[in-house]
Structure 1
Amino acid sequence: MARAGDQPPQLSPAKTAAQAGLADIRTLVPDIAEDIKYAGSDNFVGRPVNGYLAPKCLLLRPAAEALARVERDLRVQHYRLKLWDCYRPARAVADFVRWAHDPADQRTKAAHYPDLDKSKLLGDYIAPVSGHSRGATVDLTMERCAADGTHCAPLDMGTGFDWFGVRAHTDAPGIGAEQRANRLLLRSAMEHEGFKNYALEWWHYTLTPEPTPQMLYDVPVQ
């Protein structure tokens, strides 16, 4: 979630996804599994997030194409990806920060940050600038499917999405052997196509090098 490079990021003047060069991953993989958390209420703020007008995964085309290659390779092995978040508008990040500064709203503590005081979420977990707004970062998990590609079930990764705490660190101590193996399987598949993991979140990957490392986008997801 840290900023890329030493120069401050710039906000793109783009007003639409097309102007920003953002592509819907389903134009490349029409049946990729998605559960875009911030377009609904099953997330750590407990409601739809500002900027998410539709449950879509948008990415800059190089990132979308790399993710499509990961999915292609996994399907040969009877696995699939499941996407939780992709490009994130800058206005959504600002919405997260406002939420983090409201100590009265503790609705999602049990599900998302049971071991942390809410004030501790600012910094490592919620920052004023997110790599997701640069259009080449994804949050995702994996599913195992039957040989015919149907009946896919999620792998046990040890925590759910946006679980804030040590257990969500990719190499966390204390998780089971199967959970560790599943995280490493995901990491290997993603690294093969150039994605780098964020060590504090097993689900978080960024294409490296990033296509636009100093550019933030704020077009809505729609």
Structure 2
Amino acid sequence: MKKILYLFIFAFSALNFAQEIPNGFVYLSDVDASIQKELRYLSNNNFIGKKIDGYKNDCVIITAQAAHQLKKVQAQLLKEGLSLKVFDAYRPQEAVNHFVKWAKVLSDTLMKQEYYPKVPKSELFNQGYIASKSGHTRGSTVDLTIVNTKTGKELDMGSPYDFFGVQSHPFYPNLTKEQKENRMLLRKMMLENNFKPYENEWWHFTLKNEPFRNTYFNFPVE
């Protein structure tokens, strides 16, 4: 009996803990479980090459308004045998601080060839790739791409996610016809569903009229 009671208390506590996110935020999987994810900052597969501070669990947290708009995008894509795939959404200020701290250590260039081959690390701040504040921390910005649901492969967008360089600009001219069409498909779908794009990154979109325009959160992703 004691064992059963203990398990019940443990499960109840875990459930409550999982729900301790600010009002207005949701777990994206609770709104649309069909949206795929690859939380890059929970792994070593990112521009730093290490798990990022503040990422503790494989879940996507985002504002409720943004989540419901993504659900609309997903519904449209699924009809075409496609799906959204999220790399990052809400990002704790702790993670942004990790980026800033890393950027100041000029000798740490573990992932340079993969993510910023032509940008000197000393220029990451000046060129706007690293900043002390991020729209992600307000909860309504999302980094994402499109995948083919049959093959599971990402559509070819012409540059990898989080690539620091002009190749990542949405209208970079030196792309194939297919790459341009893929970028414009993502852009069109997001624009039609109340997201605004970012001029330097094809994967980055922010909800128009975001609910926490001036608030930068710092609760963990878990």
State the TM-score, normalizing by the size of structure 1. 0.88
Which amino acid in 2 is paired with 1:129?
K
- C-alpha contact 1:17 1:219 (8 A) present in aligned 2: no
Counterpart in the other structure of 2:46: 43
Aligned length: 203
> What is the CA-CA distance between 1:121 and the residue it aligns to?
1.2
For 2:145 and 2:22, the matched residues in 1 are separated by 29
For 2:89 and 2:111, the matched residues in 1 are separated by 22
| SS of residue in 1 equivalent to 2:21 | helix
Pick closer, same or farther for the CA change 1:203–1:17 going to 2, 3 Å.
farther
Q: Percent identity?
A: 37
| SS of residue in 2 equivalent to 1:203 | strand
User: Where has structure 1 moved over 4 Å in runs of 4 or more?
Assistant: none
Paired residue for 2:110, among 98, 107, 112?
A: 107
State the TM-score, normalizing by the size of structure 2. 0.88
> What is the CA-CA distance between 1:144 and the residue it aligns to?
2.0
For 2:213 and 2:184, the matched residues in 1 are separated by 26
> What is the CA-CA distance between 1:173 and the residue it aligns to?
1.8
> What is the CA-CA distance between 1:153 and the residue it aligns to?
1.9
Unmatched tracts of structure 2, length 5 or more: 1-18
For 1:112 and 1:181, the matched residues in 2 are separated by 23
> What is the CA-CA distance between 1:20 and the residue it aligns to?
4.5
For 1:79 and 1:169, the matched residues in 2 are separated by 23
| SS of residue in 2 equivalent to 1:31 | coil
- C-alpha contact 1:20 1:217 (8 A) present in aligned 2: no
Counterpart in the other structure of 2:60: 57
CA deviation map 1:83-128 (0-9, x unaligned)? 1000000110010000011101010000000011011111411110
- C-alpha contact 1:17 1:23 (8 A) present in aligned 2: no
Pick closer, same or farther for the CA change 1:195–1:107 going to 2, 3 Å.
same
For 2:116 and 2:63, the matched residues in 1 are separated by 31
> What is the CA-CA distance between 1:18 and the residue it aligns to?
2.5
